[in-house]
Structure 1
């Protein structure tokens, strides 16, 4: 089959996936598998090789990221049950003051709290953000809403064990420790710079409370007030609640630094492995939860974690299936020639591919996984460390978060914004982050 035909059929497969998800309301996992089947059959792989490729792609990616996702989500569920988030936000207010809260709030959500499933994290933190907005100062509601959107979406894409970051690292064969370190730097710089720009614009009239805030949202205010005055359970102190998660992140960072410094050995490799690190953290959280929570609360936390991780695992796995089919169809060799001869910065092209897919699909995770799958065969031709390709794909997948995103509507509802306001605090702010992120990624690629 000619190169043009392969390119056209790949485009048809991706467009077909988008149409199935958005128009036919087909579950994204099913749509991705159907796209992979179409591409395999139409490009001449044949039924047997197509199905084998789909199964192999799913299995290979699950072998790479399956336990990492499962342990990360379960650890996040336990952290939520132990009340770590609420206590951490109160500590941020006491330590840095309400004026700096949007920055500390967003960076904390985008880095430390990425083991918690995004929707659950948003539901837990939104009442706190809304209640504290009045203490932030000018445009407080706008800044806290943008902080929420940036922390969740940027962290999801760049920082392990965020689902997008795990999937990108798995598809592109990036060491998880390296993804964690460079992703942590990218997320912190991106969130801080973007929030600074958004704050300056909001204070100069970009945000209009009378049009962008829903002042009739009495249920949210009542719920926040009830949460503030209701008696609280005797949960463990913040240091104890966070210790399992902080230990896991410290072990991951230690493993990555040791690998980059050339320090090896069985003990270092074992305890620095992200799966082992998260397992140790999970075991610690389980021990604390058994000490401080009831049996019913423990069971509910695990049930919630298994439910959330199941959805993520299936979606990530079928993303690997599509990636394997794209590679088997020969698209990698075609794109390799184009990227190698291009005078445009390769990372910028990676960003454009991911951004285009996100505009079409509307899901940060799906667009990042799909972009990584399309681009994975050409990594050697780019001459760039795969970690920066993964980060560039993640940055592009943040562009234009719109009404097809569940996060968009949760932010509007839980923070009492109008649709116009959410377009500013979520769509505009996260799109700015998408563009800003490519700067530190490109700089790090030049240095490392």
Structure 2
């Protein structure tokens, strides 16, 4: 019965949006209320759950997406994004732009949370598509595939690292196995899959970024452009390494962790960009501030919709749907690797959050690892792969991709959701193959 209610809720959400053309945030809020009550929560409990879901989802994302949008606008308006993309095109050639995007997404994705990496790279992706006149999804899907794989598979990314700690897996060995798995997964889910999406035309929000081409004299240097764009990446990467090598009580590590916090690192990058891409190039501070205000205005509805997805996710968790699923899946004779993947996949589909799905699964299958019947490193990867399965309307990442790329719900399922599922399935197959030799 709990799963039937969730299914009917998702169908109602699609009906409200597709048939009645209701705004996604309003539709998500209405469905969250209805599903919560139908699952047995009292109306006040449902309202509290919705508020907590929006708050917990947007708590850090407001800063990350807000600061990321400000940085993205400065990269776009100054021509830094165009300078970086022209350098990538020269290095890889117009025919191999996808591989440049894959490599960039992979490097950026290892230390950064998915949302932070997304907002740092999205202006570069938009500019690259405009410069090469290639379809936006043709270059965008390889980027999000790289970010998604690193999010699910690779330490020192926080998700896989947390699972590795729970499983007592060797983080270095997990990273080695994860890279072996990541390479074919990104290739298939990124460049190869993107070539099948020619029928889907992305229509991003108007005036999100200034994509007009500038003359060579108008562009900042490659060094300044890369330095400014990569400040948050470098700071977060250094913090991730410090967490592995330095004791938690070290004052130096605490300072590095502060500077490497995604929100703080993006704020520092904005301040640097104000000088390197603005004041230093003759722009007035008032003009720069006006552009930052417009940057935040352009993502206001995106933030609301992401919050709505977080509300739906929280109602499903608080109503006990996750507990019901874990009880149903625990008593099975499947291989530990398949079981970890399956539980994480079902929880991800039902609850929306990859992190919640992965960490919940880790607690459930830990006894199998302690029994010594399976490699803990492969269990980390199986759990991570399962947690990426079929992102849908209860996942904030689904709405972020939809709104930035200007897609319908159906188009988002056909592109983003399928890409995530390809990553998940190829990840599982890779884990099973590695299990034959480990």
TM-score class, shorter: 0.5 to 0.7
Quote the Cα distance in structure 2 between the aligned partners of 1:19 and 1:389.
32
Maintained 8 Å contact 1:41/1:50: yes
Quote the Cα distance in structure 2 between the aligned partners of 1:197 and 1:405.
20
Quote the Cα distance in structure 2 between the aligned partners of 1:424 and 1:25.
19
Within the candidate set 264, 271, 283, 2:259 is matched to: 271
C-alpha deviation, 1:85, in angstroms: 2.3
Maintained 8 Å contact 2:163/2:359: no
Maintained 8 Å contact 1:150/1:191: no
Partner of 1:284: 272
Quote the Cα distance in structure 1 between the aligned partners of 2:352 and 2:68.
19
Partner of 1:252: 236
Gap regions ≥5 residues in structure 1: 131-140, 161-167, 214-225, 358-366, 411-422
Q: Secondary structure at the match of 2:218?
A: coil
C-alpha deviation, 1:239, in angstroms: 1.5
C-alpha deviation, 1:237, in angstroms: 0.8
Partner of 1:148: 139
Q: 1:291 to 1:432 in 2, by over 3 A?
A: same
Quote the Cα distance in structure 1 between the aligned partners of 2:18 and 2:74.
33
Partner of 2:54: 58
Within the candidate set 368, 375, 381, 2:364 is matched to: 381
CA-to-aligned-CA distance 1:340-385 (integer Å, 9 cap, x gap):
234243324544676x78xxxxxxxxx955x767887655324498
Maintained 8 Å contact 1:327/1:377: no
Q: 1:375 to 1:54 in 2, by over 3 A?
A: farther
Summarize the alignment of residues 42-121 of structure 1 with structure 2, pairs less than 5 Å apart.
42-98=38-94, 100-108=96-104, 112=108, 114-116=117-119
Maintained 8 Å contact 2:382/2:427: no
Partner of 2:223: 239
Q: 1:431 to 1:269 in 2, by over 3 A?
A: closer
Within the candidate set 303, 307, 312, 2:302 is matched to: 312
Maintained 8 Å contact 1:146/1:426: no
Summarize the alignment of residues 212-231 of structure 1 with structure 2, pairs less than 5 Å apart.
231=215
Maintained 8 Å contact 1:332/1:378: no
Q: TM-score, normalised by structure 1?
A: 0.65
Partner of 1:222: none
Quote the Cα distance in structure 2 between the aligned partners of 1:280 and 1:311.
25
C-alpha deviation, 1:252, in angstroms: 0.8
Quote the Cα distance in structure 2 between the aligned partners of 1:109 and 1:304.
26
Partner of 1:294: 283
Verify: 1:192 aligned to 2:175, yes or no.
no
Partner of 1:165: none
Quote the Cα distance in structure 2 between the aligned partners of 1:126 and 1:16.
35
Maintained 8 Å contact 2:16/2:27: yes
Verify: 1:29 aligned to 2:25, yes or no.
yes
CA-to-aligned-CA distance 1:239-269 (integer Å, 9 cap, x gap):
1122133121111112222223454332132
- RMSD of aligned C-alpha atoms? 4.9
Q: Secondary structure at the match of 1:396?
A: coil
Partner of 1:38: 34
CA-to-aligned-CA distance 1:309-367 (integer Å, 9 cap, x gap):
3233222222222222112211121111123234243324544676x78xxxxxxxxx9
Maintained 8 Å contact 1:73/1:305: yes
Maintained 8 Å contact 1:61/1:320: yes
Quote the Cα distance in structure 2 between the aligned partners of 1:424 and 1:58.
26
Q: TM-score, normalised by structure 2?
A: 0.66
Quote the Cα distance in structure 2 between the aligned partners of 1:93 and 1:256.
30
Quote the Cα distance in structure 2 between the aligned partners of 1:395 and 1:340.
19
Q: 1:353 to 1:374 in 2, by over 3 A?
A: closer
Quote the Cα distance in structure 2 between the aligned partners of 1:324 and 1:64.
16
CA-to-aligned-CA distance 1:7-39 (integer Å, 9 cap, x gap):
222222222122222222222211111111112
Maintained 8 Å contact 2:69/2:295: yes
Maintained 8 Å contact 1:397/1:434: no
Q: 1:263 to 1:12 in 2, by over 3 A?
A: same
Maintained 8 Å contact 1:107/1:192: no
C-alpha deviation, 1:126, in angstroms: 1.7
